[in-house]
Amino acid sequence: MTLKFVVPRLRSWVTALILFAAISPAGAQEAKPTWNQLVAAANKEGGVTVGGPLDPAARVYLTAAWAKTFPDIKMEWTVAGGFEWASRVKLERAAGKYLWDIYLDGPNVEIYQMAANGTLDKLEPALILPELTDAKTWRRPWNDMFLDKSAKMFSIFASPSSIWFNAKKVDPDRVKREGLEIMLDPAYKGRIAWFDPRSAGPGLNFGVMLYVLMGKDKLKTLLVDQAPVFYSRGSQVTEAVVRGRADFGVALQISDLPNYQQAGVNIDLRPIGSDAKTAYLGFGGAVLAMFNQPPHPNAAKLFANWVLTKDIQTGLSKASQWDSTRADIEPISSGGVRYIPGEKYVEAQKEEMLPVKDEAMAYMRSLRPE
pLDDT digits (tens, 9 = 90+) for 150-177: 999 999 998 899 999 999 999 999 999 9
- Domain span including residue 137: 35-158+284-336
| H or E element that contains 71 | none
Whether 27 is covered by a domain: the verdict is: no
For residues 353 and 233, membership in a common domain is answered with: yes
How much is the pLDDT for 32? 86
Contact 333, 165 (CB under 8 A): no
Total domain count for the chain? 2
| Same domain flag for 130 and 80 | yes
Over residues 346-361, the pLDDT tens digits come to 999 999 999 999 999 9
Q: Are residues 362 and 245 in the same domain?
A: yes
CATH number, domain containing residue 87: 3.40.190.10
> How confident is the model at residue 264, as a pLDDT?
87
Q: Do 151 and 215 belong together in one domain? A: no
Co-location of 191 and 143 in the same domain = no
pLDDT at position 11 over 70:
no
Query: Do residue 123 and residue 181 come from a single domain?
Result: no
Query: Is residue 2 in a domain?
Result: no
Residue 335 banded pLDDT, cuts 50, 70, 90: low
pLDDT at 186 over 50: yes
353 and 225 share one domain:
yes
Please classify residue 268 by burial: count the beta carbons closer than 10 Å to its beta carbon, then call 0-12 exposed, 13-18 middle and 19+ buried. exposed
Helices 83-94 and 109-116: crossing angle, nearest 10°? 30
pLDDT above 90 as % of the chain: 71
pLDDT value at 21 more than 90: no
Q: Do the Cβ atoms of 157 and 335 come closer than 8 Å?
A: no
Same domain membership, residue 324 and residue 301:
yes
Question: What is the distance in angstroms between the CA of the first residue and the CA of the last residue of the chain?
Answer: 87
pLDDT class of 207 with cuts at 50, 70, 90: very high
Could you give the CA distance from residue 214 to residue 182 in angstroms, rounded to a whole number? 12
pLDDT of 37 higher than 50: yes
Whether residue 28 lies inside any domain: the answer is no
Looking at residues 230-239, what average pLDDT do you find?
A: 95
Query: Is residue 9 situated within a structural domain?
Result: no
For residue 334, pLDDT beyond 70: no
E strand residue ranges, the chain: 47-52, 74-79, 102-105, 120-121, 154-155, 159-162, 164-166, 192-195, 229-231, 248-250, 269-271, 279-282, 287-291
In a domain, 277, yes or no: no
> Do 256 and 185 reside in the same domain of the chain?
yes
Identify whether residues 324 and 235 lie together within a single domain: no
Average pLDDT, the chain: 88
Residue 9: predicted pLDDT: 38
Q: Are residues 41 and 150 in the same domain?
A: yes
Q: Among candidates 364, 74, 14, 70, which has minimal Cα distance to 220?
A: 364
**Residues 171 and 151 both lie in one domain:** no
- pLDDT score, position 310: 98
Its pTM stands at 0.77
